[in-house]
Amino acid sequence: MSLLFPRGAGLAAAILALGLWGARAEETLQELVHRGPELAGLEAAGLVVEQMELTLGAQNSSLKYRIVNPTAAPARTNVTFPLPEIDFSDPDAAWSIPGADPVNYIGLAATVDQKPAPLAVTQSAFVDGKDVTAALRRSGLPLVPIGFFHDKLAALTADARARLVKDRLIAENGVDQAGNPIYAPRWSVRGAATRTLDLAPGQGALLDFRFRSSVGVARDSVLREPLRSSKELAAEVERRRADYCLDRAFLAGVDKMVSAAAARRSAAQEAAALPPEEALAADTPKKPQPVVRIFPEANVAELQERHIAFDLGAGAPAAPVRQFRLVVDKGKPTRLVSFCLADLKKISPTAFEMRAADFRPTGLLRVLLLGPKD
């Protein structure tokens, strides 16, 4: 964690402190942490996880499991898939939600043996560890406060809002143009999707979960020069090195993007300043010149960071997964990608694969995608 700036606002606060760009616009600085289903219940029922395949992408992700019942008895168990927890006391939390459904907010869908498998989704809200779900529902407020949440809050009576403030469910967060208080939620939401799985003796099933990725997006990067060499941003840079296992090749790729964009902008400015006849002559092909690395203060390459996080250990089976496959797809060939796993194989212009046998999923996998804005 940065010692200079809080993690949730580190990049924005740091770059603002250096005066390199103005107020934030549409970036998300903290992604939600995805995870897989709780598999302990399957093991308790005597089932075995033979295969696991995780695919992470900038828009959509998926989890596939091959589950087998090796016993001589039929097995029935519930498969519970927790949704990422969202802490709405963070004012940027709503920007991390990838879906539009306030209940199934990651758009989780499932199939069993390629047939649709409806999920039962539940939600609960908590403040300081206390369940406040009933209080919010009595107030008519959505547990996931997106859409017209503030209109619904404004429609409550003054006494109802005062009770919510007293119970620490909401807190004042400034005033509007008319001088009326603006309130922000203080609760966190936990959701879970559940599906019953029945397997006959010796039967296997393919469980396929698909969901929209929560992607943290920052419209600049401390990994570009001259920011990377700034003493004020040293802690942020080192945190990224540790979180994403950045190597020299990755940073060289960043420098190449920035320098090429700066050279293009410089050439365009020079051409625009020339008289028409000189501009025509300037278009004549010339002998290639040595590349000069240019690193301007401004983000001329319009670089953006995208962050994806997946907790490999959460809900993982106690026994090793016999066959494990991970695919990370960066989405565009022009993007750079880095994350902390070894033995990777490039399988397409945008995707990288890791395979392992008798694998124990563990730890938090963080993926960094870096490239020009869309």
- pLDDT tens track for 57-98: 999 999 999 999 999 999 999 999 999 999 999 988 988 999
Residues β-bridged to residue 215? none
Asked if residue 243 and residue 107 are part of one domain, the reply reads yes
CA-nearest of 104, 93, 110 to 37 is 110
The residue among 145, 160, 186 that closes a domain is 186
Asked if residue 202 and residue 161 are part of one domain, the reply reads no
Asked if residue 103 and residue 44 are part of one domain, the reply reads yes
Asked if residue 199 and residue 102 are part of one domain, the reply reads yes
* Domain that includes residue 157, residue range: 133-186
CB 271 within 8 A of CB 305: no
- The pLDDT of residue 2 is 28
In a domain, 291, yes or no: no
- The pLDDT of residue 297 is 80
In a domain, 152, yes or no: yes
Total number of domains in the chain: 2
| Spatial distance between the Cα atoms of 44 and 42, rounded to a whole number of angstroms | 5
| Spatial distance between the Cα atoms of 165 and 241, rounded to a whole number of angstroms | 41
Asked if residue 223 and residue 79 are part of one domain, the reply reads yes
Q: Which helix (H) or strand (E) holds 261?
A: helix 248-273
DSSP letter, residue 297: S
- The pLDDT of residue 91 is 84
In a domain, 290, yes or no: no
In a domain, 16, yes or no: yes
Q: Look at phi and psi of residue 330 and say left if phi exceeds 0, alpha if psi is from -120 to 50, else beta.
A: alpha
- The pLDDT of residue 281 is 57
- The pLDDT of residue 264 is 85
**Residue 170 corresponds to which amino acid?**
I
The residue among 154, 171, 186 that closes a domain is 186
From first CA to last CA, the distance across the chain in angstroms is 28
Residues 211-229, buried b or exposed e (16+ Cβ, 10 A)? bbbbbbbbbbbbbbbebbe
Asked if residue 117 and residue 69 are part of one domain, the reply reads yes
- The token pair at 73 is 């008895």
Asked if residue 160 and residue 95 are part of one domain, the reply reads no
In a domain, 248, yes or no: yes
pTM of the complete model: 0.86
Cis bond upstream, residue 320 (ω within 30): no
In a domain, 20, yes or no: yes
CB 89 within 8 A of CB 188: yes
Asked if residue 205 and residue 306 are part of one domain, the reply reads yes
* CATH number of the domain to which 27 belongs: 2.60.40
CB 224 within 8 A of CB 300: no
Asked if residue 21 and residue 115 are part of one domain, the reply reads yes
Asked if residue 162 and residue 85 are part of one domain, the reply reads no
Asked if residue 103 and residue 238 are part of one domain, the reply reads yes
Q: Residue ranges of the chain with pLDDT lower than 70?
A: 1-28, 269-296
In a domain, 261, yes or no: no
What DSSP string runs through 329-366?
A: E-SSTTSEEEES--S-EE-SSSEEEEEEEEE---SEEE
Residues β-bridged to residue 193? 81, 121
The residue among 152, 169, 186 that closes a domain is 186
Asked if residue 239 and residue 145 are part of one domain, the reply reads no
CB 152 within 8 A of CB 144: no
- The token pair at 266 is 């410089």
In a domain, 269, yes or no: no
CB 220 within 8 A of CB 112: no
